[in-house]
Structure 1
Amino acid sequence: MLPEQSHSHAAQGPRRGLRATAVLTLLCLPLFVAMPPAVSPPPRLVLWAWERPEDLSFLEGRAVDVAFLLATIDLTDEDEHLVPRRQPLRVPLGVSLKATVRLQMLPGSSLARFGPERLESLAGSLDALARRRPDVTALQLDFDARASEYDAYVDMLQRLRARLPPGMPLSITGLASWCVSGSWIARAPVDEVVPQLFRMGPDAPVWRARFARGLPRPCSGSMGLAMDEWQLVPPGVSTLYLFNPRPWTPDAFARAVAETRP
Protein backbone atom coordinates (compact mmCIF):
# COMPACT_ATOMS: atom_id res chain seq x y z
CA MET A 1 0.00 0.00 0.00
CA LEU A 2 2.86 2.37 0.75
CA PRO A 3 4.16 2.30 -2.79
CA GLU A 4 0.69 3.16 -4.09
CA GLN A 5 0.47 6.06 -1.62
CA SER A 6 3.90 7.28 -2.68
CA HIS A 7 2.84 7.08 -6.33
CA SER A 8 -0.33 8.93 -5.49
CA HIS A 9 1.55 11.72 -3.75
CA ALA A 10 3.96 12.02 -6.61
CA ALA A 11 1.10 12.32 -9.03
CA GLN A 12 -0.50 15.09 -6.98
CA GLY A 13 2.57 17.30 -7.00
CA PRO A 14 1.99 18.88 -10.41
CA ARG A 15 -1.71 19.31 -9.63
CA ARG A 16 -0.84 21.36 -6.54
CA GLY A 17 1.46 23.47 -8.67
CA LEU A 18 -1.27 24.04 -11.26
CA ARG A 19 -3.78 24.87 -8.55
CA ALA A 20 -1.42 27.39 -6.97
CA THR A 21 -0.71 28.93 -10.36
CA ALA A 22 -4.43 29.19 -11.09
CA VAL A 23 -5.06 30.87 -7.73
CA LEU A 24 -2.21 33.30 -8.35
CA THR A 25 -3.56 34.05 -11.82
CA LEU A 26 -7.01 34.73 -10.42
CA LEU A 27 -5.54 37.05 -7.80
CA CYS A 28 -3.70 38.95 -10.52
CA LEU A 29 -6.77 39.41 -12.72
CA PRO A 30 -8.53 42.77 -12.44
CA LEU A 31 -11.67 42.65 -10.38
CA PHE A 32 -14.75 43.60 -12.36
CA VAL A 33 -17.71 44.62 -10.24
CA ALA A 34 -21.04 45.45 -11.78
CA MET A 35 -21.71 49.11 -11.02
CA PRO A 36 -25.04 50.85 -11.43
CA PRO A 37 -25.17 53.26 -14.38
CA ALA A 38 -24.16 56.81 -13.54
CA VAL A 39 -27.09 59.14 -13.04
CA SER A 40 -26.59 62.65 -14.42
CA PRO A 41 -27.44 65.45 -12.02
CA PRO A 42 -30.65 67.32 -12.84
CA PRO A 43 -30.19 70.50 -14.87
CA ARG A 44 -30.15 73.88 -13.21
CA LEU A 45 -33.49 75.58 -13.74
CA VAL A 46 -33.98 79.07 -15.12
CA LEU A 47 -37.51 80.46 -15.08
CA TRP A 48 -38.46 82.87 -17.85
CA ALA A 49 -40.51 85.74 -16.41
CA TRP A 50 -42.22 87.41 -19.35
CA GLU A 51 -44.26 90.63 -19.65
CA ARG A 52 -46.82 90.13 -16.88
CA PRO A 53 -46.88 90.54 -13.09
CA GLU A 54 -44.71 87.86 -11.50
CA ASP A 55 -44.32 87.22 -7.78
CA LEU A 56 -41.42 84.79 -7.41
CA SER A 57 -40.85 85.35 -3.70
CA PHE A 58 -41.48 81.61 -3.16
CA LEU A 59 -38.08 80.95 -4.77
CA GLU A 60 -36.24 82.09 -1.64
CA GLY A 61 -33.55 79.57 -0.78
CA ARG A 62 -34.05 77.66 -4.03
CA ALA A 63 -31.25 76.80 -6.46
CA VAL A 64 -32.88 78.49 -9.44
CA ASP A 65 -32.21 81.49 -11.70
CA VAL A 66 -34.65 83.90 -13.32
CA ALA A 67 -34.43 85.28 -16.86
CA PHE A 68 -36.83 88.22 -16.93
CA LEU A 69 -37.96 90.28 -19.88
CA LEU A 70 -36.19 93.59 -19.37
CA ALA A 71 -37.34 95.29 -22.57
CA THR A 72 -38.55 94.83 -26.13
CA ILE A 73 -36.96 96.72 -29.01
CA ASP A 74 -39.11 97.17 -32.11
CA LEU A 75 -36.91 97.67 -35.17
CA THR A 76 -37.51 99.15 -38.60
CA ASP A 77 -35.07 99.91 -41.39
CA GLU A 78 -34.85 103.51 -40.17
CA ASP A 79 -35.56 103.49 -36.45
CA GLU A 80 -35.79 101.57 -33.19
CA HIS A 81 -38.37 101.87 -30.43
CA LEU A 82 -37.61 100.71 -26.90
CA VAL A 83 -40.48 99.34 -24.82
CA PRO A 84 -39.26 98.76 -21.24
CA ARG A 85 -40.80 96.22 -18.92
CA ARG A 86 -43.95 97.63 -17.38
CA GLN A 87 -45.12 94.77 -15.18
CA PRO A 88 -43.92 94.25 -11.59
CA LEU A 89 -41.43 91.50 -10.79
CA ARG A 90 -40.70 90.26 -7.28
CA VAL A 91 -37.61 88.10 -6.85
CA PRO A 92 -35.98 87.23 -3.50
CA LEU A 93 -32.41 88.20 -2.75
CA GLY A 94 -29.89 85.58 -3.76
CA VAL A 95 -31.63 84.55 -6.99
CA SER A 96 -29.43 85.19 -10.00
CA LEU A 97 -31.06 87.50 -12.57
CA LYS A 98 -30.54 87.31 -16.32
CA ALA A 99 -31.91 90.18 -18.40
CA THR A 100 -33.70 89.09 -21.58
CA VAL A 101 -34.26 91.60 -24.38
CA ARG A 102 -36.69 90.78 -27.16
CA LEU A 103 -35.76 92.09 -30.63
CA GLN A 104 -38.63 92.40 -33.09
CA MET A 105 -38.35 93.37 -36.75
CA LEU A 106 -41.53 95.14 -37.74
CA PRO A 107 -43.19 94.08 -41.04
CA GLY A 108 -41.28 95.10 -44.14
CA SER A 109 -37.99 95.60 -42.28
CA SER A 110 -34.87 93.43 -42.11
CA LEU A 111 -31.72 93.39 -40.04
CA ALA A 112 -29.90 92.49 -43.26
CA ARG A 113 -30.35 96.10 -44.43
CA PHE A 114 -28.70 97.54 -41.32
CA GLY A 115 -25.37 99.17 -42.13
CA PRO A 116 -22.39 99.28 -39.75
CA GLU A 117 -23.64 102.43 -38.01
CA ARG A 118 -27.09 100.96 -37.33
CA LEU A 119 -25.60 97.72 -36.03
CA GLU A 120 -23.24 99.68 -33.78
CA SER A 121 -26.12 101.79 -32.51
CA LEU A 122 -28.19 98.69 -31.71
CA ALA A 123 -25.24 97.13 -29.90
CA GLY A 124 -24.89 100.32 -27.87
CA SER A 125 -28.58 100.27 -26.90
CA LEU A 126 -28.31 96.67 -25.73
CA ASP A 127 -25.15 97.38 -23.76
CA ALA A 128 -26.87 100.30 -22.03
CA LEU A 129 -29.79 98.04 -21.10
CA ALA A 130 -27.45 95.43 -19.63
CA ARG A 131 -25.81 98.08 -17.45
CA ARG A 132 -29.11 99.59 -16.30
CA ARG A 133 -29.53 97.15 -13.40
CA PRO A 134 -26.46 96.31 -11.29
CA ASP A 135 -28.08 93.04 -10.13
CA VAL A 136 -28.13 91.58 -13.65
CA THR A 137 -25.58 88.80 -14.11
CA ALA A 138 -26.08 88.01 -17.82
CA LEU A 139 -27.68 89.40 -20.97
CA GLN A 140 -29.87 87.26 -23.21
CA LEU A 141 -31.24 88.22 -26.63
CA ASP A 142 -34.45 86.74 -28.01
CA PHE A 143 -34.46 87.25 -31.79
CA ASP A 144 -35.86 84.95 -34.47
CA ALA A 145 -33.35 85.82 -37.16
CA ARG A 146 -34.23 84.88 -40.73
CA ALA A 147 -31.66 83.25 -42.98
CA SER A 148 -31.04 86.55 -44.77
CA GLU A 149 -30.25 88.19 -41.40
CA TYR A 150 -27.71 85.69 -40.07
CA ASP A 151 -24.61 87.64 -41.14
CA ALA A 152 -25.94 90.94 -39.79
CA TYR A 153 -26.91 89.28 -36.51
CA VAL A 154 -23.41 87.84 -36.06
CA ASP A 155 -21.93 91.25 -36.87
CA MET A 156 -24.12 92.95 -34.27
CA LEU A 157 -23.30 90.28 -31.66
CA GLN A 158 -19.59 90.85 -32.24
CA ARG A 159 -20.05 94.57 -31.67
CA LEU A 160 -22.12 93.92 -28.54
CA ARG A 161 -19.57 91.43 -27.21
CA ALA A 162 -16.87 94.11 -27.45
CA ARG A 163 -19.00 96.57 -25.48
CA LEU A 164 -20.32 94.44 -22.61
CA PRO A 165 -18.62 94.57 -19.21
CA PRO A 166 -15.79 92.03 -18.95
CA GLY A 167 -17.03 88.73 -17.67
CA MET A 168 -20.73 89.33 -18.42
CA PRO A 169 -22.12 86.24 -20.20
CA LEU A 170 -23.97 86.76 -23.48
CA SER A 171 -26.78 84.34 -24.27
CA ILE A 172 -29.17 84.04 -27.21
CA THR A 173 -32.31 82.02 -27.72
CA GLY A 174 -32.51 79.99 -30.90
CA LEU A 175 -34.71 77.99 -33.20
CA ALA A 176 -34.40 74.22 -33.37
CA SER A 177 -33.35 74.49 -37.03
CA TRP A 178 -30.27 76.45 -35.99
CA CYS A 179 -28.92 73.48 -34.04
CA VAL A 180 -27.60 71.36 -36.87
CA SER A 181 -24.10 70.45 -37.99
CA GLY A 182 -22.40 73.32 -39.83
CA SER A 183 -24.96 75.89 -38.67
CA TRP A 184 -24.20 79.58 -38.92
CA ILE A 185 -24.76 79.81 -35.17
CA ALA A 186 -21.24 78.45 -34.61
CA ARG A 187 -19.95 81.88 -35.71
CA ALA A 188 -21.91 83.75 -33.05
CA PRO A 189 -19.62 85.09 -30.27
CA VAL A 190 -21.90 84.01 -27.44
CA ASP A 191 -21.52 81.99 -24.27
CA GLU A 192 -24.82 80.15 -24.61
CA VAL A 193 -27.37 79.19 -27.24
CA VAL A 194 -30.79 78.22 -25.87
CA PRO A 195 -32.83 76.34 -28.49
CA GLN A 196 -36.52 76.71 -27.73
CA LEU A 197 -38.12 73.32 -28.26
CA PHE A 198 -41.70 74.52 -28.05
CA ARG A 199 -44.18 76.35 -30.26
CA MET A 200 -42.49 74.67 -33.21
CA GLY A 201 -45.60 73.95 -35.24
CA PRO A 202 -46.18 70.77 -37.29
CA ASP A 203 -42.46 69.92 -37.39
CA ALA A 204 -42.25 69.62 -33.58
CA PRO A 205 -42.28 65.77 -33.44
CA VAL A 206 -39.45 65.61 -35.98
CA TRP A 207 -37.18 67.96 -34.07
CA ARG A 208 -37.96 66.43 -30.70
CA ALA A 209 -37.16 62.96 -31.98
CA ARG A 210 -33.97 64.29 -33.54
CA PHE A 211 -32.77 65.80 -30.26
CA ALA A 212 -33.99 63.00 -27.97
CA ARG A 213 -30.45 61.67 -27.52
CA GLY A 214 -28.86 65.05 -26.96
CA LEU A 215 -28.43 68.44 -28.59
CA PRO A 216 -25.63 68.87 -31.13
CA ARG A 217 -23.04 71.56 -30.79
CA PRO A 218 -23.08 74.54 -30.55
CA CYS A 219 -26.49 74.18 -28.87
CA SER A 220 -25.49 71.51 -26.36
CA GLY A 221 -25.70 72.39 -22.69
CA SER A 222 -28.83 74.53 -22.58
CA MET A 223 -32.37 74.32 -23.91
CA GLY A 224 -35.81 75.83 -23.39
CA LEU A 225 -39.10 74.04 -22.73
CA ALA A 226 -42.67 75.15 -22.08
CA MET A 227 -44.66 73.81 -19.18
CA ASP A 228 -47.66 73.14 -21.43
CA GLU A 229 -45.59 71.26 -24.04
CA TRP A 230 -43.51 69.09 -21.75
CA GLN A 231 -41.05 66.52 -23.07
CA LEU A 232 -38.21 64.50 -21.62
CA VAL A 233 -35.04 66.50 -21.17
CA PRO A 234 -32.33 65.14 -23.49
CA PRO A 235 -29.07 63.95 -21.93
CA GLY A 236 -26.27 66.46 -21.58
CA VAL A 237 -28.52 69.42 -20.76
CA SER A 238 -27.03 71.24 -17.78
CA THR A 239 -29.25 74.36 -17.87
CA LEU A 240 -32.98 74.19 -18.55
CA TYR A 241 -35.00 77.34 -19.25
CA LEU A 242 -38.71 77.02 -18.58
CA PHE A 243 -41.53 79.08 -20.05
CA ASN A 244 -44.92 79.06 -18.35
CA PRO A 245 -47.89 80.48 -20.30
CA ARG A 246 -49.41 81.48 -16.96
CA PRO A 247 -47.83 83.27 -13.98
CA TRP A 248 -45.46 81.12 -11.97
CA THR A 249 -46.80 79.61 -8.74
CA PRO A 250 -45.26 77.36 -6.08
CA ASP A 251 -47.22 74.41 -7.50
CA ALA A 252 -46.02 75.04 -11.06
CA PHE A 253 -42.44 75.32 -9.86
CA ALA A 254 -42.77 72.12 -7.81
CA ARG A 255 -44.03 70.28 -10.89
CA ALA A 256 -41.09 71.59 -12.92
CA VAL A 257 -38.64 70.34 -10.29
CA ALA A 258 -40.32 66.93 -10.13
CA GLU A 259 -40.29 66.57 -13.93
CA THR A 260 -36.55 67.18 -14.14
CA ARG A 261 -35.52 64.82 -11.33
CA PRO A 262 -34.61 61.20 -12.19
Structure 2
Amino acid sequence: MLLPSPSPLVAPRTRRGLLATLAVLMSCSTPTPPPEPPRVVLWAWERPEDLRFLARTGRPVSVAFLRATLALTETEVREHPRRQPLHVPPGTPLRATVRMEAHPGASLARYPPERLHALADRLATLARLPELTALQIDFDARASEYDAYVALLQALRQKLPPSMALSITGLASWCTPGSWLTHAPVDEVVPQLFRMGPEAPTWRARFARGLPAPCRGSVGLALDEWQAVPPGVSTLYVFNPRPWTPEAFTRAVAELHP
Protein backbone atom coordinates (compact mmCIF):
# COMPACT_ATOMS: atom_id res chain seq x y z
CA MET A 1 0.00 0.00 0.00
CA LEU A 2 1.43 3.36 -0.99
CA LEU A 3 1.37 6.17 1.50
CA PRO A 4 0.19 9.49 0.13
CA SER A 5 2.98 11.91 -0.72
CA PRO A 6 3.09 14.99 1.46
CA SER A 7 1.71 18.14 -0.04
CA PRO A 8 4.43 20.31 -1.59
CA LEU A 9 3.04 23.20 0.48
CA VAL A 10 3.07 21.32 3.77
CA ALA A 11 6.47 19.63 3.49
CA PRO A 12 8.59 22.81 3.60
CA ARG A 13 6.65 24.02 6.62
CA THR A 14 7.22 20.68 8.33
CA ARG A 15 10.92 20.83 7.60
CA ARG A 16 11.08 24.39 8.88
CA GLY A 17 9.27 23.33 12.00
CA LEU A 18 11.71 20.48 12.59
CA LEU A 19 14.68 22.79 12.05
CA ALA A 20 13.24 25.33 14.48
CA THR A 21 12.67 22.59 17.05
CA LEU A 22 16.22 21.33 16.61
CA ALA A 23 17.58 24.87 17.01
CA VAL A 24 15.66 25.31 20.27
CA LEU A 25 16.87 21.93 21.55
CA MET A 26 20.47 22.75 20.63
CA SER A 27 20.27 26.14 22.33
CA CYS A 28 18.91 24.49 25.45
CA SER A 29 21.52 21.74 25.44
CA THR A 30 24.44 24.16 24.93
CA PRO A 31 24.72 26.33 28.05
CA THR A 32 25.90 29.88 27.61
CA PRO A 33 29.42 30.19 29.01
CA PRO A 34 29.70 32.49 32.03
CA PRO A 35 31.28 35.90 31.42
CA GLU A 36 34.99 36.18 31.92
CA PRO A 37 35.99 37.73 35.27
CA PRO A 38 37.54 41.18 34.94
CA ARG A 39 41.25 41.75 34.66
CA VAL A 40 42.71 42.82 38.00
CA VAL A 41 44.95 45.82 38.61
CA LEU A 42 46.29 46.44 42.11
CA TRP A 43 46.93 50.02 43.15
CA ALA A 44 50.25 50.27 45.02
CA TRP A 45 50.33 53.58 46.84
CA GLU A 46 53.13 55.47 48.65
CA ARG A 47 54.36 52.83 51.09
CA PRO A 48 56.65 49.79 50.92
CA GLU A 49 54.96 47.11 48.81
CA ASP A 50 56.20 43.57 48.25
CA LEU A 51 54.03 41.98 45.58
CA ARG A 52 56.33 39.12 44.67
CA PHE A 53 53.70 36.71 46.00
CA LEU A 54 51.70 37.42 42.82
CA ALA A 55 53.98 34.97 41.01
CA ARG A 56 52.40 32.15 43.05
CA THR A 57 48.76 33.06 42.47
CA GLY A 58 48.52 31.69 38.95
CA ARG A 59 46.46 34.69 37.92
CA PRO A 60 47.57 37.51 35.61
CA VAL A 61 47.62 40.76 37.56
CA SER A 62 48.79 44.25 36.66
CA VAL A 63 50.10 46.82 39.13
CA ALA A 64 49.35 50.55 39.02
CA PHE A 65 51.95 52.12 41.31
CA LEU A 66 52.18 55.67 42.51
CA ARG A 67 55.01 57.11 40.42
CA ALA A 68 54.92 60.63 41.83
CA THR A 69 52.70 63.32 43.32
CA LEU A 70 52.59 66.72 41.65
CA ALA A 71 51.57 69.62 43.86
CA LEU A 72 50.05 72.41 41.77
CA THR A 73 50.62 75.83 43.29
CA GLU A 74 49.83 79.27 41.92
CA THR A 75 53.38 79.72 40.65
CA GLU A 76 54.95 76.28 40.19
CA VAL A 77 54.56 72.51 40.11
CA ARG A 78 56.34 70.68 42.92
CA GLU A 79 57.21 67.07 42.23
CA HIS A 80 57.33 64.51 45.03
CA PRO A 81 58.64 61.25 43.55
CA ARG A 82 57.92 57.86 45.01
CA ARG A 83 60.33 57.12 47.84
CA GLN A 84 59.08 53.72 49.01
CA PRO A 85 60.30 50.41 47.56
CA LEU A 86 58.11 48.37 45.24
CA HIS A 87 58.82 44.70 44.48
CA VAL A 88 56.92 42.85 41.75
CA PRO A 89 57.49 39.55 39.94
CA PRO A 90 59.47 39.82 36.69
CA GLY A 91 57.24 40.48 33.73
CA THR A 92 54.41 42.07 35.73
CA PRO A 93 52.57 44.65 33.58
CA LEU A 94 53.12 48.03 35.24
CA ARG A 95 51.09 51.23 35.02
CA ALA A 96 52.43 54.48 36.43
CA THR A 97 49.93 56.53 38.41
CA VAL A 98 50.65 60.22 38.93
CA ARG A 99 48.62 62.02 41.57
CA MET A 100 47.99 65.74 40.96
CA GLU A 101 46.84 67.93 43.85
CA ALA A 102 45.95 71.60 43.62
CA HIS A 103 47.05 73.60 46.65
CA PRO A 104 44.63 76.11 48.20
CA GLY A 105 44.32 79.10 45.93
CA ALA A 106 45.67 77.23 42.90
CA SER A 107 43.57 76.09 39.97
CA LEU A 108 44.38 74.31 36.74
CA ALA A 109 41.85 76.64 35.11
CA ARG A 110 44.23 79.56 35.62
CA TYR A 111 47.17 77.81 33.96
CA PRO A 112 47.98 79.51 30.62
CA PRO A 113 48.67 77.25 27.62
CA GLU A 114 52.44 77.36 28.10
CA ARG A 115 52.12 76.12 31.69
CA LEU A 116 49.74 73.35 30.63
CA HIS A 117 52.25 72.21 28.00
CA ALA A 118 55.06 72.33 30.54
CA LEU A 119 52.95 70.19 32.89
CA ALA A 120 52.26 67.76 30.03
CA ASP A 121 56.03 67.54 29.46
CA ARG A 122 56.53 66.72 33.13
CA LEU A 123 53.91 63.96 33.00
CA ALA A 124 55.33 62.50 29.79
CA THR A 125 58.78 62.38 31.39
CA LEU A 126 57.39 60.40 34.33
CA ALA A 127 56.06 57.84 31.85
CA ARG A 128 59.50 57.16 30.38
CA LEU A 129 60.16 53.81 31.95
CA PRO A 130 60.68 50.85 29.59
CA GLU A 131 58.47 48.47 31.57
CA LEU A 132 55.40 50.72 31.62
CA THR A 133 52.28 49.85 29.63
CA ALA A 134 50.15 52.85 30.66
CA LEU A 135 50.17 56.24 32.35
CA GLN A 136 47.32 57.05 34.71
CA ILE A 137 46.49 60.53 35.99
CA ASP A 138 44.71 60.82 39.33
CA PHE A 139 43.23 64.31 39.60
CA ASP A 140 39.95 65.39 41.18
CA ALA A 141 39.24 68.19 38.75
CA ARG A 142 36.63 70.76 39.78
CA ALA A 143 33.96 71.85 37.33
CA SER A 144 35.86 75.08 36.66
CA GLU A 145 38.91 72.99 35.65
CA TYR A 146 37.29 70.60 33.18
CA ASP A 147 38.30 72.52 30.05
CA ALA A 148 41.86 73.00 31.25
CA TYR A 149 42.11 69.32 32.21
CA VAL A 150 40.98 68.28 28.71
CA ALA A 151 43.55 70.66 27.19
CA LEU A 152 46.25 69.15 29.41
CA LEU A 153 45.27 65.61 28.39
CA GLN A 154 45.28 66.58 24.72
CA ALA A 155 48.81 67.97 25.03
CA LEU A 156 49.92 64.92 27.00
CA ARG A 157 48.46 62.47 24.49
CA GLN A 158 50.59 64.05 21.75
CA LYS A 159 53.75 63.60 23.82
CA LEU A 160 53.21 59.93 24.72
CA PRO A 161 54.18 57.02 22.46
CA PRO A 162 51.17 55.74 20.48
CA SER A 163 51.58 52.35 22.14
CA MET A 164 51.18 53.74 25.66
CA ALA A 165 47.65 53.83 27.04
CA LEU A 166 46.46 56.99 28.78
CA SER A 167 44.15 56.42 31.73
CA ILE A 168 42.53 58.74 34.26
CA THR A 169 40.72 58.09 37.49
CA GLY A 170 37.34 59.73 37.85
CA LEU A 171 34.57 60.68 40.21
CA ALA A 172 31.28 58.80 39.92
CA SER A 173 29.52 62.10 39.22
CA TRP A 174 31.55 62.48 36.02
CA CYS A 175 29.99 59.34 34.56
CA THR A 176 26.78 60.77 33.18
CA PRO A 177 25.47 61.17 29.61
CA GLY A 178 26.96 64.24 27.94
CA SER A 179 29.76 64.44 30.48
CA TRP A 180 32.81 66.56 29.73
CA LEU A 181 34.72 63.24 29.67
CA THR A 182 33.48 62.63 26.14
CA HIS A 183 36.04 65.26 25.03
CA ALA A 184 38.96 63.73 26.93
CA PRO A 185 41.46 61.91 24.66
CA VAL A 186 41.93 58.98 27.02
CA ASP A 187 41.84 55.22 26.60
CA GLU A 188 40.27 54.57 29.98
CA VAL A 189 38.29 56.28 32.72
CA VAL A 190 38.34 54.53 36.10
CA PRO A 191 35.48 55.76 38.32
CA GLN A 192 36.38 55.29 41.97
CA LEU A 193 33.43 53.86 43.85
CA PHE A 194 34.83 54.47 47.32
CA ARG A 195 35.35 57.42 49.66
CA MET A 196 32.29 59.00 48.04
CA GLY A 197 30.69 60.53 51.12
CA PRO A 198 26.95 60.67 51.87
CA GLU A 199 25.92 60.20 48.21
CA ALA A 200 27.67 56.82 48.01
CA PRO A 201 24.46 54.68 48.18
CA THR A 202 22.90 56.63 45.31
CA TRP A 203 25.88 56.27 43.00
CA ARG A 204 26.49 52.64 43.89
CA ALA A 205 22.86 51.83 43.11
CA ARG A 206 23.27 53.44 39.68
CA PHE A 207 26.46 51.56 38.94
CA ALA A 208 24.92 48.29 40.11
CA ARG A 209 22.77 48.43 36.96
CA GLY A 210 25.88 48.71 34.77
CA LEU A 211 28.62 51.15 33.95
CA PRO A 212 27.24 54.33 32.37
CA ALA A 213 28.94 55.99 29.45
CA PRO A 214 31.58 57.37 29.22
CA CYS A 215 32.96 55.19 32.03
CA ARG A 216 32.30 51.75 30.57
CA GLY A 217 34.88 49.03 31.02
CA SER A 218 36.81 49.89 34.19
CA VAL A 219 36.03 50.63 37.82
CA GLY A 220 37.93 51.12 41.07
CA LEU A 221 36.91 49.52 44.36
CA ALA A 222 38.45 49.61 47.83
CA LEU A 223 39.11 46.53 49.90
CA ASP A 224 37.71 48.16 53.04
CA GLU A 225 34.50 49.33 51.26
CA TRP A 226 33.89 46.20 49.21
CA GLN A 227 30.83 45.80 47.03
CA ALA A 228 29.69 43.68 44.13
CA VAL A 229 31.57 44.32 40.91
CA PRO A 230 29.20 46.18 38.55
CA PRO A 231 28.14 44.30 35.41
CA GLY A 232 30.11 45.02 32.26
CA VAL A 233 33.44 45.59 34.03
CA SER A 234 36.42 44.30 32.06
CA THR A 235 39.16 45.82 34.25
CA LEU A 236 38.92 46.07 38.03
CA TYR A 237 41.27 48.31 39.99
CA VAL A 238 41.53 47.49 43.69
CA PHE A 239 42.76 49.90 46.36
CA ASN A 240 43.99 48.60 49.69
CA PRO A 241 44.52 51.14 52.52
CA ARG A 242 47.08 48.74 53.96
CA PRO A 243 50.07 46.98 52.39
CA TRP A 244 49.11 44.12 50.11
CA THR A 245 49.45 40.57 51.42
CA PRO A 246 48.56 37.19 49.90
CA GLU A 247 45.51 37.06 52.18
CA ALA A 248 44.30 40.51 51.10
CA PHE A 249 44.77 39.60 47.45
CA THR A 250 42.83 36.35 47.88
CA ARG A 251 39.99 38.27 49.46
CA ALA A 252 39.96 40.79 46.61
CA VAL A 253 39.61 38.18 43.86
CA ALA A 254 37.36 35.74 45.73
CA GLU A 255 34.14 36.87 44.04
CA LEU A 256 35.11 38.50 40.78
CA HIS A 257 31.98 37.99 38.74
CA PRO A 258 30.77 41.05 36.80
TM-score, normalised via structure 2 length: 0.91
Alignment partner, residue 64 of structure 1: 61
Q: CA deviation at 1:98?
A: 0.2
> In the alignment, is residue 55 of structure 1 matched against residue 50 of structure 2?
yes
Which of 104, 108, 111 does residue 111 from structure 1 map onto? 108
Secondary structure at 2:253's aligned position in 1?
helix
Which of 207, 213, 218 does residue 217 from structure 1 map onto? 213
Q: CA deviation at 1:147?
A: 0.1
Alignment partner, residue 254 of structure 1: 250
Which of 118, 122, 127 does residue 124 from structure 2 map onto? 127
Change (3 A) 1:28 1:89: closer
Q: CA deviation at 1:108?
A: 1.0
Runs of 4+ deviating beyond 6 Å? none
Bigger radius of gyration, 1 or 2? 1
**Partner Cα separation in structure 2 for residue 23 and residue 174 of structure 1:** 57
Give yes or no for contact 2:209–2:231 (8 Å, CA) kept in 1. Answer: yes
- Superposed CA deviations along residues 204-223 of structure 1, whole A, max 9, x for unmatched, are 00001011121112100000
Runs (5+) with no aligned partner, structure 2: none
**Partner Cα separation in structure 2 for residue 55 and residue 89 of structure 1:** 6
Secondary structure at 2:167's aligned position in 1?
strand
Runs (5+) with no aligned partner, structure 1: 1-8
AA partner of residue 46 (structure 2): E
The correspondence of residues 100-179 of structure 1 with structure 2, limited to 5 A, is 100-131=97-128, 133-179=129-175
Alignment partner, residue 243 of structure 1: 239
**Partner Cα separation in structure 2 for residue 256 and residue 30 of structure 1:** 44
Alignment partner, residue 195 of structure 2: 199
Q: CA deviation at 1:27?
A: 2.9
**Partner Cα separation in structure 2 for residue 38 and residue 28 of structure 1:** 24
Give yes or no for contact 1:77–1:111 (8 Å, CA) kept in 2. Answer: no
- Superposed CA deviations along residues 50-75 of structure 1, whole A, max 9, x for unmatched, are 00000000011530000000000000
AA partner of residue 20 (structure 2): L
Secondary structure at 1:258's aligned position in 2?
coil
> In the alignment, is residue 86 of structure 1 matched against residue 83 of structure 2?
yes
Q: Report how many aligned residue pairs link the two structures.
A: 249
Alignment partner, residue 6 of structure 1: none
Give yes or no for contact 1:154–1:187 (8 Å, CA) kept in 2. Answer: yes
Change (3 A) 1:25 1:126: closer
**Partner Cα separation in structure 2 for residue 107 and residue 120 of structure 1:** 22
Sequence identity (%): 65
Alignment partner, residue 4 of structure 1: none
Secondary structure at 2:236's aligned position in 1?
strand
Secondary structure at 1:211's aligned position in 2?
helix
Alignment partner, residue 180 of structure 2: 184
**Partner Cα separation in structure 2 for residue 105 and residue 231 of structure 1:** 30
Secondary structure at 1:29's aligned position in 2?
helix
Q: CA deviation at 1:36?
A: 3.5
Secondary structure at 1:197's aligned position in 2?
coil
Q: CA deviation at 1:166?
A: 2.2
TM-score, normalised via structure 1 length: 0.89
AA partner of residue 44 (structure 1): R
Change (3 A) 1:150 1:23: closer
Change (3 A) 1:161 1:23: closer
Q: CA deviation at 1:203?
A: 0.4
